[in-house]
Chains A and B, each alone.
Chain A
Amino acid sequence: KAGVTQTPRYLIKTRGQQVTLSCSPISGHRSVSWYQQTPGQGLQFLFEYFSETQRNKGNFPGRFSGRQFSNSRSEMNVSTLELGDSALYLCASRPGSGNTIYFGEGSWLTVV
């Protein structure tokens, strides 16, 4: 069974631009969550989607948004990029509540 797939793996953006990251969950998994990992803050929760509905949200500004499609694939968008948005963005999936969460390899975003 294929794991969680994230694209792109690496990207470089300029301050003020926007970026969209994509995530395909494990087949059959309906819950997708996103995390940001930085050396200073570690892994921080961004948001979680289940059946196209956002069920939970972390403490990030409104520039960070996401959505989930009917096939459970998810995208997250960051607008008006800042240097501090440089991070590894991780997507994770699981069948539903109360189950183990599996992570993808992440998308490395560098903002210059």
Chain B
Amino acid sequence: TQLLEQSPQFLSIQEGENLTVYCNSSSVFSSLQWYRQEPGEGPVLLVTVVTGGEVKKLKRLTFQFGDARKDSSLHITAAQPGDTGLYLCAGELETDSWGKLQFGAGTQVVVTP
């Protein structure tokens, strides 16, 4: 059982549409990170959020950390084919840090032209 539940598992949209990926848990995290991974490669960091209620924007990507630090969301505006990839949320538990990230199962996003 994974501590971080990611939804949806798969998302296929047309270029220009918006999408949101959710990451939920019943546990409290001291920080939460979002990564994007291409097939056969390592995860590439997109953002780290550490404060409850925090919102970070990275061009067309908006990340939000829940007030209670138990959940997060990633919103992509006007998606482009280059946004295609596996999106992973990962967090460090308040009670178990030291390099141990808890990962969600991932959301495979496919953006078609």
Contacts and interface: CB of A to CB of B under 8 A. Distances in A.
A6 B42 CA distance: 10
User: Interface extent on A, as a size class?
Assistant: 20 to 34
A84 interface: no
A3 B99 CA distance: 17
Contacts of A33: 99-101
B3 to A, nearest CB: 11
Interface in B11-50: 30-31, 33, 35, 40-45, 48
A105 B42 contact: yes
B97 A97 contact: yes
B96 A56 contact: yes
Given A45-B101, A105-B42, A98 B96 contact: no
B42 A56 contact: no
Interface string B45-86: 100100000000000000000000000000000000000000
B99 A31 contact: yes
Contacts of A97: 97-98
Contacts of A105: 41-42
A78 to B, nearest CB: 19
Given A98-B30, A98-B31, A100-B33, A45 B100 contact: yes
A45 B19 CA distance: 29
Contact of B42 (A31, A55, A104): A104
A102 interface: yes
A35 B43 CA distance: 11
Contact of B35 (A4, A32, A103): A103
Interface of A: 4, 6, 31-33, 35, 42-45, 48, 50, 55-56, 58, 88, 90, 92, 94, 97-98, 100-106, 108
